[in-house]
Chains A and B, each alone.
Chain A
Amino acid sequence: MFVDTVIEDKSLHKPAFLLGLSIAVFAFFFAFNFTDTIFGEFLSPVIGNPQESGFFGRFVVSFVLSIIFVLNLLLISFTRLKIQILIVWIELFFLFLAFAYSFDLELAYIFIGEPSKIWLMISKGLFTTIYISAVSIAIATAIAIVGAIAKLSNNGFAYAIASFYTSLFRGLPLLLQIYLIYMGLPQLGFMIDAIPSGIAALSLCYGAYMTEIFRAGIQSIPKGQWEASRALGFKFGLILRKIILPQSIPIIVPPTGNQFIAMLKDSSLVSVLGIWELMFMAKKIGAKDFNNLEMLLTAAMIYWALTIVLEVIQARIERKYQQKA
């Protein structure tokens, strides 16, 4: 992307915009009435008992909240870009925590027991989830390379098989594929365990999506690159390996990273086969003690942390290829 060299005035620093924003924010807080929340309690020295403060209380709470909100924006707007991003991230994260906190959870629950619930989740559930996802990602990538080449070849069999495959596996819900593989293959006489069938379903499904990503990436390289390579007497495999794929990697990496992240989360679907991965364990442990939400939230946080790791790796790879080009 091209960032313009002329900096526009920040709209936040224009009085008219600031005033308009303040009014809108105030109207928002006023309309949704935050008097009965924790904010009302904080302001009770001014407004007295929040329940009985009436219009005055509502006005004061909304006013203070909107001042804090706008002042916060204004202060952040004076910092450098990186700091801005960091502060906003942290603030949003705390808002999210506050949201979870409002569920009235028994957070200590996940730390009690021998071994503790959270340790069980990490040692067994997280391990299984990572294992299933990593194997599926590797297989899906291999399928995608072969599938993309088949779809680009002018071999009728290869093209037909590849396009039938992508059509079928992109056309069925993943959950259905998991059931079909787990219950269908034994009908054909192949006994297959839960984990291999989960891996098979994930690999085949994401292999189909990634086939299309790889194909599009390869096709986005200008025809002239093929022609110049052919004119030099290069053969198909050499052109693909040395000329086309290296150039399509920067195009392929971002959507592929998305697929990896999506697959990591979709691995939770294999919990229906009774595999002891994160989702299954969260449901099983939580249901036993009627602490469902605590366990689900724990699983949610672990999934989130995992995807952040993947996002960081993806950004690293993208940066590496941008420098090269």
Chain B
Amino acid sequence: MIMNASTKTKNENPLISLRGVSKWYGGFQALKDINLEINLKEKIVICGPSGSGKSTLIRCLNRLEAHQEGKIHVSGVELHETMKDIDIVRRDIGMVFQNFNLFPHLTVLENCMAGPNWVRGIDKDEAEKRAVAMLKQVKIPEQADKYPDQLSGGQQQRVAIARSLCMQPKVMLFDEPTSALDPEMVSEVLDTMVELANSGMTMICVTHEMGFARQVADRIIFMADGEIVEQNTPDEFFNNPQSDRTKTFLNQILI
């Protein structure tokens, strides 16, 4: 792995740490010996060709996928098969999916209230206040009483972001949040994410939106074939890519 000196900030208590993490699907190794530390308030962008293991990596962070080797710690808690309190860890990790995964039988407001009300022990009034505030933050308070399928893709994704934010997570994971969207809706979601980044949220984003990466990322991680090939600041990553694979990838994506 090639790493620029400037990104090598030593931190005793990273929010998330992966040490020697490997994952197999059957006989196929999707993640190979991943080592990574993510600190509070850091914004990470993960990119790489299709099938390189980006989704797998990010889904291991809240254990939607299980890793077989190595150790993953989130807020000091190790994620493993027999852990008792995975739900407590997950409640602090917001996740936004490529295809939104809103609850179609609940209104926008109910989608946002569900988490706090059902598992955070927050009463309905308080949960509703919080949901309304978050919907304001993503700029769709007027859609609160609609059902998800009455909204555009961009609006749905912003509801999904609001739903996660209502849990007041410590970190937000994004798995290609804009790639299911029509081009004209991409920017409204990216704007929301930029604002979120500016508010100090810790963010890990799988995305190919390089403008966004340049604007907010503290570090860009480039993956290929289940490995982290290179990680660097945006400036270094775009202007001075180290590996050939990174160069090829950047050439393809920045045409």
Contacts and interface: CB of A to CB of B under 8 A. Distances in A.
Interface of A: 222, 224-225, 227-228, 230-235, 238, 242-243, 246-247, 324-325
Interface string B107-144: 00000001100110000000000000000000000000
Contacts of A228: 95, 97, 101-103
Nearest to A232: B115
Given A232-B114, A232-B115, A227 B105 contact: no
Contacts of A230: 62, 64, 90
Contacts, number: 59
Given A232-B115, A233-B87, A234-B119, A227 B101 contact: yes
12 contacts: A222-B101, A225-B101, A227-B97, A227-B101, A228-B102, A231-B95, A232-B91, A232-B163, A243-B103, A246-B105, A247-B105, A324-B105
B103 A225 contact: yes
A58 B13 CA distance: 100
B104 A325 contact: yes
Contact of B119 (A224, A227, A238, A243): A238
B1 interface: no
Given A238-B118, A242-B118, A246-B105, A233 B97 contact: no
Given A233-B91, A234-B118, 12 more contacts: A224-B97, A225-B103, A227-B64, A228-B95, A232-B164, A234-B87, A234-B119, A238-B118, A242-B114, A247-B104, A247-B105, A325-B105
A233 B88 contact: yes
Nearest to B115: A232
B192 interface: no
A171 B149 CA distance: 42
B167 interface: yes
- B interface, by DSSP: helix, strand, loop or mixed? mixed
Nearest to B88: A233
Contacts of B163: 232
Interface string B46-83: 00000000000000001010000000000000000000
Contacts of B118: 234, 238, 242
Q: Which 8 A-B pairs have the closest CB atoms?
A: A233-B91, A228-B101, A224-B101, A231-B95, A233-B90, A233-B87, A232-B115, A246-B105
B187 interface: no
B145 to A, nearest CB: 14
B99 A224 contact: yes
B77 to A, nearest CB: 13
Contacts of B99: 224
A80 B75 CA distance: 67
Contacts of B91: 232-233
Contacts of B97: 224, 227-228
B61 to A, nearest CB: 10
A168 B89 CA distance: 43
Nearest to B160: A228
Nearest to B86: A233
B45 interface: no
A232 B88 CA distance: 9
A94 B163 CA distance: 59
Contacts of A247: 103-105
Nearest to B89: A233
Contacts of B205: none
B30 interface: no
Nearest to B119: A233
A222 B97 CA distance: 13
Contact of B62 (A222, A225, A231): A231
Q: Which residue, of B97, B114, B118, B147, has the highest number of chain A Cβ atoms within 10 A?
A: B118
A248 to B, nearest CB: 10
Q: Which residue, of A225, A232, A235, A325, has the highest number of chain B Cβ atoms within 10 A?
A: A232
Contacts of A324: 105
A242 B91 CA distance: 17
B228 interface: no
B96 to A, nearest CB: 9
A103 B93 CA distance: 74
A231 B90 contact: yes
A247 to B, nearest CB: 5
A322 to B, nearest CB: 12
A231 B119 contact: no
Contacts of A224: 97, 99, 101
